[in-house]
Amino acid sequence: MAELEDGAAELVIETSSPAGETPQITLSGELDSSNVRRLDEAVAALMVGRPERVVFEMSGLRFMDSAGISVLVRLAGELEAVQIRDPSPIVRRVIEITGLSHVLQVMQ
């Protein structure tokens, strides 16, 4: 219930962008409209390097609403590839239900 008291769901974002390698964003917790701005900021920082693709590691993501989907769809339109690595079962289901499995590269 602590998330409801401060207005933002718990979300942990870790980024890595080793020189010459595909940038990766690791997400854990819950991604929704209350905290999606933080993800937008992390993505913007990685986009400065003009990558062709970005990998999202989502094994620790317990929830994602339409705000998170919006970020992924926008990136898929801007980049050569958006890869989703190890999505949690609920996130995998959201990707499948929304038809994004045809737009995003979902990897085990």
Residue ranges per structural domain of the chain: 2-107
Decide which of 17 and 57 is more confident.
57
Residues 37-83 have pLDDT tens digits of 999 999 999 999 899 999 999 999 999 999 999 999 999 999 999 99
Q: Rounded to two decimals, what is the model's pTM?
A: 0.89
Domain 2-107, second-level architecture? 2-Layer Sandwich (3.30)
- The string over 17-53, giving b where at least 16 C-beta atoms fall within 10 Å of a residue's C-beta and e elsewhere, is beeeeebbbbbbbbbbebbbeebeebbeebeeeebee
